[in-house]
Amino acid sequence: MLNERSKLILNLLLEKRKVNLEETAKLLGVTERTIRNDLAKIDGFLTENNLTNLKKETMINYSIENEQSTTIHRVLNKIHADSEKQIDYWEEPIYRLGFLYNKLFWSEQRITIESLEKELFVSRSTINNDLKKLKNMAKEMSIDILFEKNKGLYLLGKEEKLRILYFHFIDLFEQYNYNLEISNDDEAAILTYWIRKVEEELMIEISYSSFQRLIPIMRTITGRIQQGKKVTINSKNLNPKSSYEMDIIDNNCVILEKYFNIIIPPSEVVFISKQIYRSNLIKNEVVYQGYQVNLDIIVNSCIKEISKLLKIDLTLDKELFKHLALHFQTTITKDDYEIAHLITKETFKDIKAVHEHIYTVVKRVMQDIGRREHIPFNNEMEWLFITLHIVSSIEKIKDRIAEELNVILICHMGIGTSQFLKYQLNHYFKFKPRIVTKKILSEEANKADMIISTIHLQDFNIPYIQVTPYVTEVDIKNIQRLEKQIIEEKITFQEEGVWKGRSEPMLKDLLTEETIETKVSVNDWEEAIIYSGKILEKTGVITNEYTQAMVEAVKNFGPYIVIAPRIALAHASSKDGVHQIGMSLITLDEGVEFGNKDNDPVRIVICLAAIDHHTHLKALSELVEELNNEEFVNMLLHSDKEEIVKVINQK
């Protein structure tokens, strides 16, 4: 049976005639492997209905025959009609567990086993066996399923835990095309509108599957509040987002309060915030723009340390930085229980076996970072997700190297045969071979990475392989083997040489008497940023365009730059007028408001100009570490620039 995601992909195929594996995975917020499994289900569906299977045009593109559209639409409509009829869900054990928990979760009264027998059409022994399994599952979440004599069953546990287990069953129920929460289209519409509005104001984009999951989650939250069952968690223990983000969510909760006739207390706003940021994000402008400084440091440290251990330079992969930043931000708010259910044990074993070395390196690095940063990066599934990101980055680097390989082609049978040989190679490989004659081979050979020839060659130090004029399968495999060897040599660096020439200045190199001003008088936050920017303009580090970009960033993104009480770290994109890495620091005689109610007023403004994702990290890490020291902050506020420089130079 096709699940909802498979149906969606099939409808995309009917609409567009073709889908791309990578794009579809990104759209739906799942792995490419999951999409391949869905495509296999679609092929099974087509076969069952005597239709032609999908056409696999390349490794990543799939299409469907136009002539089949009408028939497929008719079959899908029939499936939809049949799904409206009663289905024997109770034949599936996992459905029964979800059904039992659903009844216990929502019921205002005790539930009797007799009533469950009638509703599920199964025996008392089956119900008891299911309850035993459900009790074991609930115990993992510190939830008890208790029985009161002559009354029935009920749940006992913290409201937050009760909901999280319920959300787990919401995920499982997707395969049955069965939605427990949304009772009418109006509810679905208002919740969809609400999530999109919050997305827009938070400047994030949630993946398709996470968005669809959030709708019943939000209905669960509003439903529980309607029943008078609210979370009583301490917001400080929940890793809440900044007050600015919380205010956005809180302000939008008015919409839900009016529609569902409820009052949403602060603890529920924190809980809702956590559910939003537990979602798989495919975009987060705040993260992309670098306004979460500690996250930047962790991500860059992770990439650099993994690069060193693998001896593969991953630090230039901007996409890897974005993906890990999004992943870490989401992970920090997730519970281990949730992460464990995102990948099956079988998939875990398969991926770990194929990429064992990379997995081991990731595990080591994440454990080190976790201990250093006091973040619980100690989950096997977490290590596996990061492994997949690293593998993807390495494959991209290999593809780029393959495309850039300088390959010389020599054929002794004339231009026609040479062109045919080149055409065959273009079909199988990413590199673009150049046809040269034996006469000029000696001139070109030194520039080449590989020589492919139909004749025997002597006295060449360049990797060389002899093939037949009409390439055979054996020839292709031999070339692939040599290409792989060359790529492995190119991608692997010697540790002592890779970072050579990459200047990573320290804090004392950037904060000097030229770049520090104390007791500065300004009227507002905008003047404070402009003043700190002007210092770097005078030293030639940035242009006025960068200073204005820093101001616009606060207007567009809010006061994310206020990173701690009394401290703002202003910066913008390196594309906006940065000539070289630089940093300035000013202290204000009077604090100014940036709009961050937790950390205002600001009295220290730091301006950072970066040229990439990593060169500034050593200095920034030093600065952040010092700013966590109250004595250092007080020293900045009560010293002149000569004294500040002296203290920094002693560090």
Tell me the sheet residues that pair with 62: 19, 56
Q: How far apart are CA 532 and CA 376, in angstroms?
A: 37
Q: How far apart are CA 364 and CA 360, in angstroms?
A: 6
CB atoms under 10 Å from CB of 241, counted, come to 21
Q: How far apart are CA 432 and CA 423, in angstroms?
A: 10
Instruction: Provide the CA 219 distance to its chain's centre, in angstroms.
Output: 25
Q: What are phi and psi of 590, to 5 degrees?
A: -130, 140
Q: Beta strand 281-284 with 204-206: parallel, antiparallel or unpaired? A: antiparallel
DSSP 287: H
Which DSSP string corresponds to 415-445? Answer: HHHHHHHHHHHHHH-SS--EE--HHHHHHHH
Of the candidates 330, 319, 452, the one whose C-alpha atom is nearest the C-alpha of residue 381 is 330
Query: Which spans in 17-92 are helix H?
Result: 21-28, 32-48, 69-83
Cβ contacts of 163 within 8 Å, gap of 6 or more: 220, 221, 224, 231, 271
571 is catalytic: yes
* Start-to-end CA span in the chain (Å): 65
DSSP 78: H
Of the candidates 178, 257, 247, 170, the one whose C-alpha atom is nearest the C-alpha of residue 214 is 170
User: Which burial class, exposed, middle or buried, applies to 472 when counting CB atoms under 10 A from its CB (0-12, 13-18, 19+)?
Assistant: exposed
Cβ contacts of 146 within 8 Å, gap of 6 or more: 153, 154, 155, 156
Q: How far apart are CA 550 and CA 584, in angstroms?
A: 13
As given in the structure block, the two tokens for residue 458 are 């002597």
- Altogether, the residues listed in the chain come to a count of 651
- Total H helices, total E strands in the chain: 29, 16
Please name the helix (run of DSSP H) or strand (run of DSSP E) that holds residue 365, with its range, or none.
helix 356-373
User: Given the structure tokens 């792989």, which residue do they identify?
Assistant: 484
Q: How far apart are CA 22 and CA 275, in angstroms?
A: 26
Catalytic residue among 389, 571, 613, 614: 571
Q: Tell me the CA distances in angstroms from 565 to 297, 511, 560, 592, 607, one per residue in order.
A: 19, 21, 12, 12, 17
Contact 317, 397 (CB under 8 A): yes
Contact 275, 240 (CB under 8 A): no
Catalytic residues: 571
